[in-house]
Amino acid sequence: MKVLLINGSPRSDGNTARALAEMCRVFEKNGIETKLFWVGTKDVRGCVGCGNCASLGKCVFDDIVNEISAELRDADGLVVGSPVYYASPNGTVLSLMDRLFFSAHYSMAMKVGAAVVVARRAGTTATFDVLNKYFTISGMPVASSTYWNDAFGGSPGEAEQDVEGMQTMVNLAENMTFLMKSIALGKKEYGIPKNEKRFMNFIRPEGNVKAIKAVKAVKSAPAQALNKVLHRGKKAGKEEQS
């Protein structure tokens, strides 16, 4: 079994690296192959929405995103580690994840995903939430730990003093190992669920008269109800005067 780990920090030996290293130690103890990509100083541009990946089978910008994508195809799990910048993953991680998940021409369903976030003080849960959305939109089970997957530290190495944070990483790797092995057994016995995808825009075409009438009816209902109440009031007032 194989897990890819992405370190989005610009510091190769910073606190994000320390958290991921703790996970790698557990994976290797459990016989899981690991491969780490350090992308923090890479020039990773954002997705331009050109759509060429649909025909190419990879992103039109041939950089580390395509390298990771090729490795991820046969991997069983993905760990994405990011420092917290303004209560969000840093720009490199966001650009990489946008392009990686949009351009992949294979299914990521049932690959196990995990997010690891590191901050000096705050913004970890917001960053954690952003990263998990990439997994949940792709049918990837999300590995959990005994707390949110975060660690705290400012200067390089300080995260190692966060005893609870490091234990969270150990527990996360153990749980992720169990989940990947369980899914592998499930695939042999039951296969992978066949999920149907349907796409639609929320804007209704003008030719859809029924839909337009239904929307107008819903919008006008409160006004009609209010007019009825006002009408009754006026009628009652007239009766009292007479």
What CATH code is carried by the domain that includes residue 45? 3.40.50.360
Q: For position 241, what pLDDT does the model report?
A: 58
Angle, alpha carbons 73-165-125 (nearest 5°) = 70
CA separation, residue 127 to residues 115, 133, 169, 182 (Å)? 9, 10, 16, 28
Q: For position 239, what pLDDT does the model report?
A: 55
Q: Strand 150-152 vs strand 88-89: parallel, antiparallel, or unpaired?
A: unpaired
| Residue of higher predicted confidence among 72 and 207 | 72
162 with 72, same domain?
yes
Reported as a pLDDT band with limits 50, 70 and 90, residue 66 is: very high
176 with 63, same domain?
yes
Q: For position 200, what pLDDT does the model report?
A: 75
Residue 210 has pLDDT above 70, yes or no: no
| Residue of higher predicted confidence among 217 and 233 | 217
208 with 185, same domain?
no
Q: For position 218, what pLDDT does the model report?
A: 59
Contact 46, 98 (CB under 8 A): yes
210 with 136, same domain?
no
Residue 64 within a domain: yes
Reported as a pLDDT band with limits 50, 70 and 90, residue 196 is: confident
- Please give the structure tokens belonging to residue 5: 């780990």
Q: Give the range of the structural domain holding residue 119, as residue numbers without chain letter.
A: 2-190
Residue 196 within a domain: no
Reported as a pLDDT band with limits 50, 70 and 90, residue 100 is: very high
Give percent of the chain with pLDDT exceeding 90.
Answer: 78
Across the range 120-139, mean pLDDT stands at 97
Across the range 68-84, mean pLDDT stands at 98
Q: For position 74, what pLDDT does the model report?
A: 97
Reported as a pLDDT band with limits 50, 70 and 90, residue 220 is: low
Q: Round to whole Å and give the CA distance between 233 and 213.
A: 29
Beta bridge partners of 85: 88
How many CB atoms within 10 Å of residue 133?
12
128 with 227, same domain?
no
17 with 113, same domain?
yes
Residue 160 within a domain: yes
Give percent of the chain with pLDDT exceeding 70.
Answer: 83
Q: What is the pTM of this model?
A: 0.82
The pair phi, psi for residue 81, each rounded to 5°, is: -105, 135
Number of domain units in the chain: 2
Across the range 124-147, mean pLDDT stands at 97
